[in-house]
């Protein structure tokens, strides 16, 4: 089975996200994952600091 991402990358309409500083979908996904990890880390920090 081919990876759906490979299928999608061939479609011109979704080839690039077209966002400043985030030139590829991989960068967008990493940004999303990074922001998730950051939020969880901040919440853990908040819990440890004030509990």
Partner 1 sequence: MSALDFVVLIGSMLGIAIYGIWRTRGRRDLSAYLKGGHTPWFAIGLSVMATQASAVTFLSTPGQGYLAGLAFVQVYFGVPLALLIVAIFFLPVFRRLKVFTAYEFLGRRFDTKTRLLGAGLFLLQRGLGAGLTIYAPAIVLTSVFGWPLNLTIICSGVLVIIYTVAGGNDAVTVTQKYQLAIIFAGMITAFCLLVAKLPAGLTCSDTLTLAGGFQKLNAVNFSTDPRERYTIWSGILGGTFLMLSYFGTDQSQVQRYLSGESVREDRLGLMFNAVCKIPMQFCILLLGVLMFVFYQFEPAPLFFNPITSQALATQGHGGNLRAYEKDFAAAHTQTRQQLDNWLAARHRGDQAAAGEAFAAAAASRQQGEKIRLTANQALSAETSATTANDADYVFITFILRQLPHGVIGLLVAAFFAATFSSKAAELNALSSSTTVDIYRHLIRQDATDDTCVTASKWFTAGWGLLAIGFALCAHLAENLIQAVNILGSIFYGVMLGLFVVAFFLRRVGGTAVFWAALAAQTLVFILFFGAAVSRYWHDFFGGACPGGRLLLETAAISYLWYPLIGCAACVLFSLFLQAVSRSGKRNQEVFATDGHNLLH
Binding of partner 1 at residue 23 (CB under 8 A)? no
Does 24 sit near partner 1 (CB under 8 A)?
Answer: no
Minimum CB separation of residue 51 from partner 1 in Å reads: 5
Q: Which residue in 7, 21, 24, 27 binds partner 1 (CB under 8 A)?
A: 7
Nearest 10 degrees: Cα torsion 40, 42, 48, 49: -170
| Size of site (CB under 8 A) for partner 1 | 30
For residue 20, give both structure tokens: 């400043």
- Could you list the beta-strand ranges (E) of 2-48: none
* Residue 11 makes contact with partner 1 by CB under 8 A: yes
E strands in 1-51: none
């Amino acid at each position: 089975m081919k990876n759906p991402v490979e299928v999608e990358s061939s479609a011109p309409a979704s080839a690039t996200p077209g966002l400043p500083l985030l030139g590829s979908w991989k960068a967008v996904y990493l940004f999303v994952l990074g922001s998730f990890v950051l939020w969880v880390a901040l919440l853990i920090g908040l819990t440890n600091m004030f509990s």
